[in-house]
Amino acid sequence: MDAVTVQRLGQYTVQLSRPPRITAAFTLMGPREGAGPLGPYFDAIVEDYMWGEVSAERAERKYMEQAARRALAAAGLTEGDVDCFIAGDLLNQIVSSTFSARSLGIPYVGVFAACATSALGLALAAMLVDGGFARRALVATASHYQSVERQYRYPVELNIQRKDTNQYTATGGAAAVVAPPEEGTGPRITRVTLGRVVDWGVTDANDMGSAMAPAACDTLLRHFQDTNTTPGDYDLILTGDLAKVGSKVFRALVDRAGVTLGGKHMDGGASMYGDAEWPAAGASGSVCSMAVLLGYVYKEMAQGRFRRVLALPTGCLHSPTTWQQGDSCPGISHAIVLETD
């Protein structure tokens, strides 16, 4: 029996042998996201939060399903051309993903990494395609302000004064097709560093950025060590959903570790709404990092502005129950490297 080729770098990183491409992507966002500075990068904006549905939960799954269908159409594929649908969202039992998978009819892998679902989905898709276990994979995430707000926090219309550390769940759906390198010219997913759950004891669920910053720093340092790279080797280091407060903490941690990010760092959550007074800290939600990756980064890579991007979406893995019982918020961050030819 042949020995299995180990496709790993260092202790934690996967080196894909024939790095698959993102051959098509579609970002379908809500009105507030469309009005933000990244609005022009999104493929479609839906002006109605509820999108004609009777509940926010139904609207959320519509965002996901429509993004998935339009990504397939953009790649010129049908459901039968894709062997695996990898999706995740923030709702209990990841129902938006499940219900989308129900109508798509593609074999389904449901994943949960909160707001880091984008990188986890893309990483798994790349490994499945590279390993020959799927010809192509479809990856999707979605989140909806109203459905997430009422599950994690308070009723949508309640008179709560949000703090400056609070993040606002982005509304939308985003999907990408991951296929072998022969197809198309999109950016290739070359390396993957899966995240460890890191928890430094932040118990304030209103400050998820600070809860997740250590996880992003952990994955970043492990990735640099395994791949023997420095920030200088990348055109952009994109964290997801640390937002403004978490980004500050993240940069301070990276700085203490003796790594200089320079002007390379950008955070998806901090960029989504620009300098609006509220939401002060920025965006979160499982669609946020996916939309920044597939809207802004994907398109700028096609234009040749970025050639090599390290994306580190972050997720806060607490539940309302664990938080109310006084547990701290565990964070996670999965890293993927995107490269153009």
Output the smallest distance, CB 322 to other proteins, in A: 16
Please report whether residue 200 would count as binding other proteins according to CB under 8 A: yes
User: What crossing angle do the helices spanning 56-74 and 95-104 adopt, rounded to 10°?
Assistant: 50
| Other C-beta atoms lying within 10 Å of the C-beta of residue 299 | 17
d(CA 222, CA 188): 21
Would you say 7 or 206 has its CB closer to other proteins?
206
Output the smallest distance, CB 219 to other proteins, in A: 9
Please report whether residue 153 would count as binding other proteins according to CB under 8 A: no
Q: Looking at beta carbons, which pairs linking 49-57 to residues 24 or more positions away fall under 8 Å?
A: 49/144, 49/145, 49/146, 49/171, 55/147, 56/144, 56/145, 56/146, 56/147, 56/150, 56/156, 57/91, 57/95, 57/96, 57/144, 57/147
Please report whether residue 92 would count as binding other proteins according to CB under 8 A: no
Please report whether residue 154 would count as binding other proteins according to CB under 8 A: yes
Binding marks (x or -) toward other proteins, 10..39, rule CB under 8 A?
------------------------------
Give me 312's structure tokens: 């580190």
CB 184 within 8 A of CB 221: no
d(CA 158, CA 154): 7
Please report whether residue 55 would count as binding other proteins according to CB under 8 A: yes
Of 258-317, which residues contact other proteins (CB under 8 A)? Answer: 278, 280
Q: Which residues contact 294 (CB under 8 A, 6 or more apart)?
A: 22, 25, 26, 27, 174, 175, 176
Task: Choose which of 9, 176, 217, 242 interacts with other proteins (CB under 8 A).
Answer: 217
Output the smallest distance, CB 314 to other proteins, in A: 13
Would you say 78 or 203 has its CB closer to other proteins?
203
- The DSSP symbol for 91 reads S
Radius of gyration of the chain (CA): 18
68 to 20, 71, 104, 339: CA distances (angstroms): 19, 5, 9, 23
Would you say 80 or 201 has its CB closer to other proteins?
201
Would you say 133 or 154 has its CB closer to other proteins?
154
Of 308-337, which residues contact other proteins (CB under 8 A)? Answer: 328
Q: Which stretch binds other proteins (CB under 8 A): 6-14, 121-129, 154-162, 174-182?
A: 154-162
Count, residues in the chain: 341
Binding marks (x or -) toward other proteins, 230..249, rule CB under 8 A?
---------------x--xx
Torsion of CA 89, 91, 92, 96, to 10 degrees: -70
Q: Which stretch binds other proteins (CB under 8 A): 7-15, 119-127, 159-167, 263-271?
A: 159-167
Residue closest to 19 by CA, chosen among 308, 314, 267, 264: 308
Please report whether residue 252 would count as binding other proteins according to CB under 8 A: yes
Number of residues that bind other proteins (CB under 8 A): 37
Task: Choose which of 207, 235, 267, 339 interacts with other proteins (CB under 8 A).
Answer: 207
Binding site for other proteins (CB under 8 A): 54-55, 57, 150, 154-165, 198, 200-202, 207, 210, 214, 217-218, 221-222, 245, 248-249, 252-253, 256-257, 278, 280, 328
